[in-house]
Amino acid sequence: MKERKYMSIIPGAKQWIKLGAVVYAFAILLFTIVIKRFADFSDLSSFAKIIYISTSILLILSVVLFYTFERYGAILSISFITVFNIASLIFQSVRVLDIQMNLIFVFGIVLLFLHYLEKAVHSERVDYLLLMNRYAQLELNSKITKTISEITPQMLINDNLDELLQTILEKAIELIPKAQSGSILIRNENRMEFRAAVGYDFNQLKKVDLCFEDMYQYKLGLLNEPAVIKDIKTFNKKNLKAEIADTMNENDMLTAKAVLTCSFILHGKIYGFINLDNLDDFEAFNEQDKLNIKHLASQIEIALNNHLLVEEIYTLSKTDSLTGVHSRKHHEKIVFNLYKEFRNKKKEFSIAVMDVNYLKQVNDTYGHSVGDQYLIHFARVIKEYIGENDIFSRTGGDEFVIVFPNKSLQESHDRIEKIREVFEQIPFVYEDLEHVIEFGCGVACYPKDDDQLMGLMRIADKRMYDDKRFRKLTR
């Protein structure tokens, strides 16, 4: 839509009408008083002289009002001239300046017409601008929704939340007008952690120790609403602890002139905050931008909720529901990836296949619920006494596997023996039952025993059964 031409013509026309009326009125007065009527003025009656002088003053007053106050001046001028015309009809013998006054009357009518026309046009223009603003808002909201929708499939595939938050932040800076840099913080209990940043040294941001009460919205009392902070350096100096403000200032983290910020919520609680910064202008962000970031935050909430749901499903699929260790399917995946990595790097690793003894007897005697507790105790003890990089999985009912990266065959055997000793110190206890859990175990080492994964598993499995037979015979 383009503005109509008369939107810019009307103000000029009004100015010319007012100026023309002034020039015309004073020219008529000058001509009438000085040239035409001056010689006859002495011949007029006293009443006519009064009317003549009053009319002249009235004409001057009408024009001054007309020019100075525009609409109200025009209305007063028209009123004065109407009264004058009524007086002229009553006193028909006194007709001075009546034609000139009526021309000023016409000027007033025209000016009023132009005034109300301009008002109508202005109202139309305001409606037009409001409509365009709403259209722009809807268009931006559509872009935001579309952008986050395009990111969502990545969130369902990629389990790296930080990478996804970084992508969201970069897209937000592209979408929100005047946003130049920014950050996303995620709440971890009462601590706030920087998880994405644009325009700042991310390693420096991670060193900043912020709590939930340090957030802009908390200080402003607007936790669930968007906010704009102008002059962020002054704001932080007043509201942050001195050591935090100094750290941020020293590392150029307070370079923004204005910050547009909004929280996003998951499961009824504030999950994090997105901050968009402008580095040049204290007045960069306005009320419209608040609506923009509010819509963006709502879309982030939807996307993150989908991501967390998928992550939860994925976690359930890769974790054994009873013991909390890796499931068989996930075990096969991570062990295969480890095998490829160690084969390329020509490093060794060991696999220990384990089979828990007496599970059937516990199930038959005490019930399957106690048998489950028996397995849970077994898994809990082993998880506490294996290394951080060791991989522990449940591959069957009473079958478990431990993968020892970078451990030789002997080192892995030593680790298993230490685990056996731990079980002697921490037996399984249930009511009157106190039982030291025993297990058969076979260990195979890559590449010493076999350089193929399947062959390695077969060797470990065979050694496990040999170990069970040996322990049964020597008991």
Last residue of a domain, one of 314, 349, 374: 314
- Do residues 304 and 333 both lie within one domain? no
| 306 shares a domain with 374 | no
Considering the domain architecture, whether residues 98 and 205 belong to the same structural domain is answered as no
Q: Do residue 11 and residue 63 come from a single domain?
A: yes
How far apart (Å, rounded) are the C-alpha atoms in residues 183 and 194? 7
Q: List 197's β-bridge partners, or say none.
A: 183
Q: Which residues contact 217 (CB under 8 A, 6 or more apart)?
A: 223, 224, 225, 227, 261, 262, 263, 273
Give the count of domains, the chain.
3
Q: What is the CA radius of gyration of the chain?
A: 44
Q: What percent of the chain has pLDDT over 70?
A: 64
Angle between helices 98-157 and 46-69 (to 10 degrees): 10
Backbone angles phi, psi at 379, to 5 degrees: -65, -40
- The pLDDT, as a whole number, for residue 157 is 60
The pLDDT of residue 30 is above 90: no
Size of the chain in residues: 475
Q: Which amino acid is at 12?
A: G
Give the separation between CA 134 and CA 143, rounded to whole angstroms: 14
Residue 307's domain comprises: 159-314
Q: Verify that 113 and 167 share a domain, yes or no.
A: no
Q: Is residue 135 part of a domain?
A: no
Q: What is the mean pLDDT of residues 217-236?
A: 81
For residues 310 and 360, state if they share a domain.
no
Overall average pLDDT of the 164-173 stretch: 88
Does position 449 have pLDDT exceeding 90, yes or no? yes
Range in 227-241, 361-375, 381-395 with the lowest mean pLDDT: 227-241
Amino acid at 366: Y
**Rounded CA separation 375/371 (Å):** 6
Mind listing the pLDDT tens digit for each residue in 97-129? 455 555 555 655 655 565 666 666 666 666 666
Same domain, 258 and 350: no
Mean pLDDT of 460-473: 91
User: In which residue are the tokens 């002054």 written?
Assistant: 234
The domain spanning residue 353 has which CATH number?
3.30.70.270
87 versus 171: which is more confidently predicted? 171
Same domain, 193 and 299: yes
As given in the structure block, the two tokens for residue 68 are: 């100075």
* More reliable by pLDDT, 318 or 7: 318
Q: What token pair was written down for 250?
A: 């020293």
Residue 355 binned pLDDT confidence (cut-offs 50, 70, 90): very high
386/352 Cα distance (integer angstroms) = 12
How confident is the model at residue 81, as a pLDDT?
63
pLDDT tens digits, 278-322? 988 889 898 888 888 888 888 888 888 877 777 777 777 788 989
Residue 218 falls within a domain, yes or no? yes
Contact (CB, 8 A) for 97 and 28:
yes
Burial class from Cβ neighbours inside 10 Å (0-12, 13-18, 19+) for residue 251 reads middle
